[in-house]
Amino acid sequence: MSSAKGKGARIVALHLAVIAALFAVQFLLPAYHHGNLARIMVFASFAVGYNLLLGYTGLLSLGHAMFFAAGMYGAGLPLYYFDVGVLQAFGLGLLASFGLALSFGLLALRASGIAFLIVTLMFAQAFFLATLYFNEITLGDQGFVLSEQARTLTLGGVVMSFADPTVKYNAALLLFSCCMLGCLALVRSPIGRVWVAIRENEPRTRMLGYDTYRYKLLALVLSGVICGAAGAGYALLFAYVGSTFASIQYSIFALLWTLLGGVGTVLGPLVGAGLMFYLVDIAGDFTSSYLLVVGVVLLLLILWYPKGLLGSLRARWLPWLP
Amino acid sequence: MDFGPHLFLALLEGTVSAFVLAVTALGLSLVFGVMRVVNVAHGEFYMLGAVLAWWLTTLLAGSPMIGFGVALIVAPLIVGAVAFAADWLILRRIDYQPEATIVATIGMLYIIQQLVLTFYGPDARPVEPPFYFRVSFPWFGYSGYKLIVVGASALLLLGVWLAMARTKFGLYMRATQQNQEMAQAFGVPVRRVYAMVFALGAMLAAAAGVLVVPIQQAHYLMGLDPLLLSFIVVIVGGLGSLRGTVVAAFIIGLSDGVISVFFSPTLAKIIATLFVAMVLVYRPSGLFGQPEEEQ
Amino acid sequence: MTKNKGDKETTATPDAGVSRRTAFKTAGVLAGAAAAGAAGAFTPGAIIKSASAHQGDSANAIRIGLQVHRTGIGAAYGKWYERTTNAAVKLINSHGGIGGRPIELIIEDDRTDPKRGAEVVEKFALQHKVDFVFGTLFSHVVNGSAPRAGELKMPYFVVSEGYHVASGSLNRYTFQPGITDVRSQIKGISSWVLNNLGKNVAMIYPDYAFGYNHRDFFGAAVKANGGTVTASLAIPPTESSYTKFFAKIPSNTDLIYHVMVGPGVLTFVKEMGEHFGANRPELFGFIDSLEAVDMSIPGLDYLEGSHFWEAMPRYAASQNTIGANFYRAKVGVDENGASVDDSKDISTFSHMFGCWETLYAIKQAVEDSGYRDNTAKDKEALIETLENTRWYNEGIEHPQGHKAFNGKLHQCFGSQYISKVTDGKLKLVHTTSVEDGLYEPEADYTKMSL
């Protein structure tokens, strides 16, 4: 019977091993999958942020695309119009999503449960429409392209262009590692335990003396910032900013990736994002009706693994998986 | 156009969209209220109703009225059968767990959309209204069929209300909605009620699709907007309250029309959207909902 | 998250109620449904995709990737893009291919989504290892995909009619040689429209990229021609009913300039008819509103007497040239612009020719530059050849009409057609010259490095 410390070490080791594996595999992968994995890691970061709110705090949102998009526009607009540096742009992206998440949380957390769900949906819709309304600045759904010069970072004499595949991959890996390890640290901390308590039984948690509103706000803001980081990352790595990423389907993607991988597991988002990506990609090779294949596979997966892949894994064999 | 007639027009439009919204959302309200599950494929049932209406009216190309009448009856039945099968095959197996149901209904959404894309195609196709006439007001013209839609929707709403209030099945539904365990203890066949409710919800969505398709066109992606709007209406109205659903549909349908009189279209939509959100922030259980009693 | 009363406790118990047997039973039924759908998927299009993947097993083939909107909001266009491309490839290959090498066509669906578009470009370059990629239409997908093509140094030919290529915001690998851009289209037609139909204009357009181009470029043209914009209505994409917007059009409007696109267009026209009745201003629209739409649908008769811009006249009677008729026959479109297999299946005639002409432009560039392989040297030669191209003659290879090509802008310029709805069909009333559509270039890709 491993001690609590031993178990903790095992958990950290597992997650570090995943990062190490992701680092190592870039030298083995053919070019196509190398590029795919960079994308998957950015989207997995988005899902990690989403999972923080849904999986651990128990708040279901259908509006997280707005945080992703806030990070994307927050980084992309200054870069496009004012040619600020890469790091500054990323910081501005984080700031934008922080601001949005905070103001949204202050307004919306009065509602809970299903009402909260709709409020997130409505705010996200309004945000999407706003990106269209202010199209003189945002260039609307057509969006804009970030040049390669804008996406070049010079650190200590080393010039790194985000168009370069190696830079792209490692930047995506860095982004994902920070988000994932951050999430891991949070969920295993006392804050994380309060979140889980809120998820399981909020009135009782309140009775125990915790200010659940403050904890929920914290979760929402952190979730928003992580999603914003992913959005800023997408803009910097893939050179495109547009309203499409603020639309409802991207909120549904975050939900889908999280649920498929295993809601409430730290690594679930990575599994979910990767699986969906390859499911669609491979199905598309065989048939033009790939959506059908995807739908069927989703159904089969959820029938056998209703808690998602890692969630079911945890339930059956690995109860210590965070 | 002068302000008065403009407002009148907006109110007319708002009324039409309110009624259509009420019928579309009604099905979701039932499913949500009784079964407590989020059916992401609800919009696809609406779309199926519209597409089947096109197919049936094309098959019976002789008289638009007969074709449409048949469509109004047959299309919901077909869609109801599909929904019943989906519940029996899938939702029951995952025990209606909330998150699993979301993924499962997303899967259903993809499947239905792709099947329609494959067999019906990507084009938007029109369906003849059973009657086509133009009502001439002094300041503008208006579609006569839209006014018919209002009447038909009102009848449907009335029918559902009567069924809920007066029939045994309605009693079962209301009992299950209030307290599932208690209802089961009293001998209500809850599993069968769930299946029937899911089918009924889909049928109502399909009926709305059939009614609407002569105004819009049948297109394989047309289900998304009704889905979103239905959700909003159901929540704002209050879970488990049919009256709330109808009232919310009116508030949302009319406000959208009226606000658009004063602002540019996109800005009007933004304002209307935020308005709905703030209603929910200040009244989280909706206008007529009971605060959730269970955990 | 509230728990369902019927929920079993979630912690340690194994997954509730799904035995292997029931799962397999369910899987069986689902697989049946999937098979039914998949059967529909094995349409000629899908078969050609897998067949052509084997066709050029010879290392001699030129591999070309078609990035197409098979699903999503652009699917109606994608269907015809695929059809036209297949016809062109078949024709070119039947005459020996490009420089004696057969074309091997590989098709990928970009779902009319900018994220997927970029992924598809990557797939073409890194997995399928094609020589060229072409075919995407919607502007937001172009903007999402082209940067990746530039990074991968993949010659990328867009069939989009957006202003993005010519604006200089993309990269030196991206070209649009087969279809004119919206700025040029508007410039070409605006004088005729304003001088013949009216100068007090109300504009109705979708609140996204395509719409903004019209708002900006036609708005400028109105002012330049001494007119006024009486109303400028941007309709959000989620709108499905337009009646309340017509009320915003002031009564001193002579002309309604409408470019609504998407599945709601029929509703738009019907509601316009219901609202204005016989007492209506002049109407001018872009055929984008009616692509793939049958003009004989009741409710559209309201458009009788109104005018439309067309890139390529839908009705054969308006363009009775050898090139256009030959092209029509090969693609399988009848004299009304409908599929020869189904007279109700109307094509996207003002867009799909871009695929045909782009393939021929690629062919010409490959043969003139001596391109053999996707080496840096060969690609440079190809790009420089393209940038030195000045003119495409009207004919079988370019059935839409003559085109000038601006190597600095990477964009072609051609004639535009204005048609009037007469007896339910579109009848040509005016053809612009290539010069009518020229504007001051705002970019120079030749100055960028490769």
Structure tokens at A209: 């003396």
Give the per-residue pLDDT at A3. Answer: 59
Q: Do B122 and C79 touch (CB under 8 A)?
A: yes
Q: Do B90 and C297 touch (CB under 8 A)?
A: no
**Contact with chain C for residue A245, Cβ under 8 A:** yes
**Full residue range of the structural domain in which residue A230 is found:** 2-316
Least confident piece of the model among A94-103, A115-124, C50-59: C50-59
Contact in structure between C92 and C40 (CB atoms under 8 Å): no
Does B288 map to a domain? no
Average pLDDT over residues C355-380: 94
Least confident of B246-260, C28-42, C184-198: C28-42
- Cβ–Cβ of B9/C245 closer than 8 Å? no
Q: What's residue C28's pLDDT?
A: 43
Neighbours of B231 (CB within 10 A): 24
Q: Is the pLDDT of residue B284 over 70?
A: yes
Task: List, in sequence order, every residue forming a beta bridge with C414; answer none if it has no partner.
Answer: C403
Looking up tokens 């089947």 gives: B52
CA distances from residue B224 to A12, B41, C379 in whole angstroms, order as listed: 42, 9, 44
Give the total number of structural domains in chain A: 1
Residue of chain A minimizing CA distance to C122: A32
CATH of the domain at B91: 1.10.3470
Q: What is each CA distance from A300 to A154, B100, C21, C151, C227, in whole angstroms?
A: 48, 11, 13, 38, 62
Q: Is residue A92 part of a domain?
A: yes
User: Per the domain annotation, does A70 fall within a domain?
Assistant: yes
- Classify the C-alpha dihedral A120-A125-A126-A127 as positive or negative: positive
Residue of A nearest to C124 (CA): A32
The DSSP letter of residue C8 is P
Statement: residue A67 has pLDDT above 90: yes
User: C132 pairs with which residues across the strands?
Assistant: C64
pLDDT at B1: 67
The nearest alpha carbon in chain B to A123 belongs to: B274
- B276 and A112: CB-CB below 8 Å? no
DSSP B31: I
User: What pLDDT score does B216 carry?
Assistant: 82
**Residue B214 is part of which domain span?**
3-282
pLDDT of A27 strictly over 50? yes
A322 lies in a domain?
A: no
Tell me if A39 and C144 make a contact (CB, 8 A cut-off): no
Yes or no, beta carbons of A112 and B115 under 8 Å apart: no
Distance of residue A269 Cα from the nearest chain C Cα, in angstroms? 19
Q: Is the pLDDT of residue A39 over 90?
A: yes
| Predicted confidence (pLDDT) at residue A199 exceeds the cutoff of 70 | yes
Res C27: pLDDT: 43
Structure tokens belonging to residue C316: 């054969």
For residue range C395-417, list pLDDT tens digits in order: 999 999 999 999 999 999 999 99
Count: domains in chain B: 1
In a domain, B40, yes or no: yes
> What is the pLDDT, as a whole number, of residue A313?
85
Which one is predicted more confidently, C23 or C63?
Answer: C63
- Reported as a pLDDT band with limits 50, 70 and 90, residue B94 is confident
Mean pLDDT, range A140-154, rounded to an integer: 85
Backbone angles phi, psi at C222, to 5 degrees: -60, -50
Question: C366 to chain A nearest CA, in Å?
Answer: 26
Which chains have 3 or more CB–CB distances shorter than 8 Å to chain C? Answer: A, B
Lowest-confidence pick of A278-282, B191-195, C264-268? C264-268
Beta strand residue intervals within chain A, DSSP E: 144-145, 152-155, 158-161, 240-241
pLDDT at residue B292 is higher than 60:
no
Q: Do C26 and B261 touch (CB under 8 A)?
A: no
The per-residue pLDDT for C299 is 74
- Compute CA distances C331 → C102, C338, C355, whole Å: 19, 11, 11
Residues B66, C3: Cα–Cα separation, whole Å: 47
- A320 — contact with chain C (CB < 8 Å)? no
Predicted pLDDT at B291: 57
8 A C-beta contact, residue C372 and residue C351: no
Q: Quick check: is B274 in a domain? A: yes
Q: Are C126 and A31 a contacting pair at CB < 8 A?
A: yes
The three-state (H, E, C) secondary structure of A126-160, written as one string: HHHHHHHHCHHHHCCCCCEECCCCCCEEEECCEEE
Is the separation of the CB atoms in C149 and C126 below 8 Å? no
Option in B107, B273, B285 nearest A299 (CB): B107
Mean pLDDT of A276-295: 84
Q: Does A295 touch chain B (CB under 8 A)?
A: yes
Residue C46 has pLDDT above 50, yes or no: no
With an 8 Å Cβ cutoff, is A280 touching chain B? no
Would the CA dihedral through C232, C238, C244, C246 be positive or negative? positive
**Cβ distance B215 to B149 under 8 Å?**
yes
- The closest CB to that of B89, out of C3, C26, C267, belongs to C26
Q: Is the pTM of this model over 0.80?
A: yes
Distance CA C447, CA B163 (A): 74
* Higher pLDDT, residue C279 or C204: C204
Amino acid at A174: L
Does A246 reside within a domain?
yes
Query: What percent of chain B clears pLDDT 70, i.e. is strictly above it?
Result: 97
Q: A306 and chain B: CB distance < 8 Å anywhere?
A: yes
For B175, the 3-state DSSP assignment is helix
Q: Establish, for the pair of chains A and C, how many residue pairs have beta carbons separated by less than 8 Å.
A: 140
Nearest CA in chain A to B287: A115
Would you call A283 helix, strand, or coil by DSSP? helix
Count of all residues that appear for chain A in the document: 322
In a domain, B295, yes or no: no
Token couple for C405: 């090509």
- List C-alpha distances in Å: C188 to C181, C221, C306, C319, C411: 11, 10, 18, 18, 15
Residue C214 predicted with pLDDT over 80: yes
The amino acid present at C149, given as its one-letter code, is A
pLDDT band at A5 (very low <50, low <70, confident <90, very high): low
pLDDT category of residue B128 using cuts at 50, 70 and 90: confident
Q: What's the whole-number mean pLDDT along residues A177-182?
A: 94
Tokens of C97: 């291919």
> Of A119, A60, A48, nearest to A310 (Cα)?
A48
* pLDDT class of A163 with cuts at 50, 70, 90: confident
* Residue B112 reports pLDDT greater than 50: yes
pLDDT at A114 over 80: no
Q: How far is A113 from chain C (nearest CA, A)?
A: 6
Whether B273 is covered by a domain: the verdict is yes
* Count of CB atoms situated within 10 Å of the CB of B59: 11
Integer Cα distance of A85 and A35 in angstroms: 24
Is the predicted pLDDT of residue C421 greater than 90, yes or no?
A: yes
pLDDT of residue C248: 87
* Phi, psi of B38, deg, nearest 5: -90, 115
Q: Residue B222: what are its φ and ψ, rounded to 5°?
A: -75, -5
Strand A152-155 and strand A158-161: pairing?
Answer: antiparallel
A196 and chain C: CB distance < 8 Å anywhere? no
Residue B286 near residue B236 (C-beta atoms within 8 A): yes
Distance CA B138, CA C321 (A): 49
pLDDT higher than threshold 60 for residue C374: yes
Statement: residue C1 has pLDDT above 80? no
**CA distance, residue B295 to nearest chain C CA (Å):** 6
> In terms of Cα–Cα distance, which of C9, C132, C1 is closest to C64?
C132
Cα torsion through B9, B12, B16, B17, rounded to 10: 50
Give the model's pLDDT for residue C33: 45
**Residue with token string 């017509």:** C246
Please indicate whether, in this complex, the C-beta atoms of A240 and C151 are within 8 angstroms of each other. no
Do B215 and C29 make contact, defined as CB atoms within 8 angstroms?
no
Q: Which of B6, B90, B97 to mutate to test the interface with C (most CBs of C within 10 A)?
A: B97
How confident is residue C129, by pLDDT bands cut at 50, 70 and 90?
very high
**Both tokens assigned to C192:** 């005729």
Q: How far apart are CA A69 and CA A286, in angstroms?
A: 33
How much is the mean pLDDT over chain A?
89
User: Is A71 or C239 the better-scoring residue by pLDDT?
Assistant: A71
SS3 B35: helix
What CATH number is attached to the domain comprising A118?
1.10.3470
CA distance B51 to B53: 5
pLDDT at C296: 85
Return the pLDDT at C383: 95
Domain for residue A321, yes or no? no
Confidence of residue C190 (pLDDT cuts 50, 70, 90): very high
Q: What CA–CA distance (Å, rounded) separates B152 from C253?
A: 37
Rounded to whole angstroms, what are the CA distances from C434 to C180, C298, C312, C404? 10, 36, 14, 7
- Pull the structure tokens for residue A196: 């889980």
Residue contact A299–B117, C-beta within 8 A:
no
